[in-house]
Structures are given as structure tokens and as C-alpha cells.
Structure 1
Amino acid sequence: MTSVNLTRIPNRLASIATCKKCNLPKHGRKGSQVTIFPSRKNAAAIFCESRLEAAFCLELERDLNVLKYVAHPFTMHFTGGRYRYTPDFLVQLTDGEQKLVEVKNDDSYQDKVITGRITRYIDWLAEQGCTLEYLPAAKFYGKVRTPNLNRLYHNAYSSHGDAGTSIRNLLTKCAPNRRTISFLIDNGYAPADISHGLFYRTIRCDIFKPLRLTSFVWS
């Protein structure tokens, strides 16, 4: 099993920072709560400091360019002792590259002090050949979309996606190729396999509307 190399970025940053192990969060930040996310890509539990981080895990699981990822991989202690920073995620991409990701709720993202500090880290890391991506919740979180993805992800957990091609072929034969979720169940497909297809986009649906048995899906 491929694991995430936790030394590559710290080695690149050696001239400006010392990276030390980050302790797993025991409680969330003010207004947040620790959430344990069951990651399929990592075959492990991911400890998130907030539900927003857990929501972003859904995006990482769904992104075909992401191989694996780690939450709170290390804490950077910048030279001079003035600044200390722990990124939310270290992401291992399928092309071999790595990037760090910081996610913030929209209020924090609009806070000039917070965003100014993160922007400073982005610039410092870029000078050492490292990428820090800074994302507001608005970029990935939706009041309907995210609960839909969460439901699909957990419903699909027992599925390996083997029925995906068969479901696509069935929908392709239909004219038009839009049928309800209940239609697929009536044709013998397990809810877990349908959820797998929708989460990983083997088949499609309108993820921005509440999902029901009467919701339409297509190939």
C-alpha cells in the first residue's frame, strides 16, 4: 500500500522552518468539533478538527487526482520563532506531486488578519518549491450538496463499484437515458452500488437537490 511521504515537504523547507509531529486533535476550535472521517483511500480514520475539514475529506475521496492524504501532517516552526503553522492537509497526487491545503469557513477567509497570515505562508512555501492551497468553504461546501455527498459516501462504503459499468450500460439503453434511483433498484442494483456510482461519478445526478428514490440519474 502506498503511503504519503511526510519528509519531502519538510526537507524542502529546511532552510526556513523546522517541521515537527502534530498531535492528533482532542477537541475542535471554538465553534467546531472533532470529527473522525473513515477514509477509503487511506484505509484509516482521519481525525478532523471540524466538520468543515471532514466535508473537505469528501472532496479528496472523490477527486481522481488524489492518491492519499493526511490531516495535520506536521507543524512548521519558522526560523526566528515568530510563527508556527499547521496545515489542514497534506495531499499526495497521482502524478507524484504533493501539496498542502488549508480550508477556512467563509468568515475566517474574509478576515484580513487570518488571510494575510496564510498568504504570507503561501509565499514563503512557494519560494521553497512547495504549494499551499487556501480554500474558503464556499469553494466546496454546499448546504444540500455536501450532505448528499456524505450520505452517498457512507452508503457506498461496502461497495467496490463493480456494478458501475452495468448501471451505465442500462441507462445508456434507455431513451432518454434518465431514470430514477428506484428504477435502478427495481432492476436489481443494490443501493450501495448505486451510491458508489453517484459518488464517484460513474453515473450522474443533480447533486445540488435533495436525493430521493424519485431523483433522476443518467449516464
Structure 2
Amino acid sequence: MWSEQAWLAGDRAPGREIHRGLPGYYTIFFPSLKNHKVVLCEGSVEAAYCVWLEWDNDVIAYYPQPYTFTWETERGPMRYTPDFYVLHAQVANHFTEVKPDFQQLTTRTRFKLHSFVVQCQAWQIEWRRADKQQLIPPHVFTNLPYLYFHGFRVNDLEQAYLLDSLSCYKKSFTLGELLSSAYPPSLRDIYHWPFRGELGTDLSQPRNRRSLIQQGNCEGG
């Protein structure tokens, strides 16, 4: 039976082998800053979910294919491995199943997931689901991965320089104004801070030099 305490004390290895190179599967190696290592994802939708987890300031870490559950049903024994286990600072930790479309499941998969939801109540664990429509809305998802990957691995010197540069600006300014300064901060740092929520910006709009940036902490997620 699942024990979060025992699992966290272990090696946190995947509960099943992640599909690599099989027909219908392709692996994306997602570079996770929160996990300090590459996370293996089975397809673009799982990778999209990782971007949201990186953006959510309450998420501490997350793990793919964390644990394989087994239980009995009227149709026989069931085995199921959720796609992720997510650790939070404030809200409840949870398992997540990621699918392109939960309306397009096979009858067996639909039954298994429904049965697992019932079991979650008995086991007192939280399970969520995420689909492509939820994870990849227009513009917002175009901006989030762009900011994440273009602001990857900012160093302390870059962050200190940006902080010093911002003291010369009013509360709101455009991206073009910041880039037009005599000695602008690095683009990597400019993209990193909005992703982390240290600078505000409208993620629903395409990014360009007219994009408005606001100083002040804006929580991600």
C-alpha cells in the first residue's frame, strides 16, 4: 500500500519503465530546475504539464511514473501508475494523470481510472487529471515555455544586475524600454523574472517590445 513517508525516504525511482522508442510513444527530456535534473516525459502533453509545475510557486518537486497501485475489482485485478506525483509547499500533495483528451479513452482505461478514483477515497490520497485543452491554451502556453527555456539557468550576477537596473525605472514599463537602455540586462534574466513571478506581465498576449512589464511580486500558478 502507498506510504508517502516511505516513498519519500526511498530513491523515488519511477514505478514502471518509461516508454522509450516504442510505436506510439516518444520521450521528451525535460530539463527541470525544481528537480535539478532531467524529467522523462511520454509526449508533449506531459512536457507541457511540467512547464506549469515549474511555473507554480507552490510546487516544490515532481516525479514521473512514481508508484504502481494494485487493487481488486469486479472485473479482476487492476494495475495503474499515475503519470506524476507532485509535492507542494502549502496545498495537498497529489498524483496526476495526463492525457491528450479524457473523452477519447478506451472502455478499459475509463473503467480503471474510475475505479482508482474510488480507491483514492479509501486510501486517502489525492488524484488529479490534466488534459491538452487545459494545459495548452492559446498564447499563455506559447509564452510560458518561451520564458522558461529562454530564462534557463540565470546566475546570481545577472539577477543582481537586473535588480539594480530596475531601480532606474518606474513601476510599469515596456520590454522595449528595458532593452533600449545603454547597458540592458541579459535577455535570459529578463525572461526568467516574469516566469518566476518577480515581474508582472500579461501572459495572454503575444510577446513583443510593446509588452508591458510591472515591478512587484506576482505569484505564479
Please give the secondary structure, in 2, of the residue aligned with 1:103: strand
Alignment partner for residue 189 of structure 2, among 186, 193, 199?
Answer: 193
SS state at 1:159 partner:
coil
Contact 1:25–1:47 at 8 Å: present in 2 too?
no
2:208 to 203, 208, 212: 212
Question: Secondary structure of the equivalent of 1:48?
Answer: strand
Q: The residue matched to 1:146 in structure 2 has which SS?
A: helix
Say whether 1:140 aligns with 2:103. Answer: no
**C-alpha deviation, 1:9, in angstroms:** 7.4
Instruction: Go from structure 1 to structure 2 and tell me whether the alpha carbon gap of 1:168 and 1:136 turns closer, same or farther (over 3 Å shift).
Output: farther
Q: CA 1:209/1:120 → structure 2, altered by over 3 Å: closer, same or farther?
A: same
1:26 matched residue in structure 2: 20
- State, as a whole percentage, how many aligned pairs show the same letter: 23
- Does the Cα contact within 8 Å between 1:149 and 1:199 map onto a contact in 2? yes
| Per-residue deviation, 1:158 | 2.2
Shift in CA distance, 119/215, structure 1 to aligned 2, threshold 3 Å: same
Q: How many residues align?
A: 200
Residues 204 and 196 (structure 1 numbering): CA distance in 2 closer, same or farther, change over 3 Å? same
Which residue is 1:94 aligned to?
Answer: 89
User: Residue 155 of structure 1: CA displacement?
Assistant: 1.1
Q: Matches of 1:209 and 1:42 in 2, distance apart?
A: 29
Measured in 2, the distance between the counterparts of 1:170 and 1:122 equals: 53
Query: TM-score, normalised to structure 1's length?
Result: 0.78
Q: Which residue does the alignment assign to 2:177?
A: 183
- In structure 2, C-alpha distance between the alignment counterparts of 1:28 and 1:217, rounded to whole Å: 44
CA spacing shift, 1:156–1:28, aligned 2, 3 Å: farther
For residues 54-93 of structure 1, the aligned pairs below 5 Å read 54-79=47-72, 82-93=77-88
Structure 2: segments with no counterpart, 5+ residues: 8-13, 216-221
Q: Secondary structure at the match of 2:77?
A: coil
Q: Out of 114-123 and 55-64, give the one that drifted further.
A: 114-123
Indicate which of 23, 41, 49 corresponds to 1:48: 41
Q: Residues 136 and 9 from structure 1, CA distance in 2 versus in 1: closer, same or farther, beyond 3 angstroms? A: farther
TM-score (norm 2): 0.77
Query: Which runs of structure 2 are paired with 1:111-190 in the superposition (5 Å)?
Result: 111=105, 113=107, 114-160=109-155, 162-163=159-160, 165-166=163-164, 169-171=167-169, 173-174=170-171, 177=172, 179-187=173-181, 188-190=184-186
Deviation at 1:22, TM superposition (A): 1.1
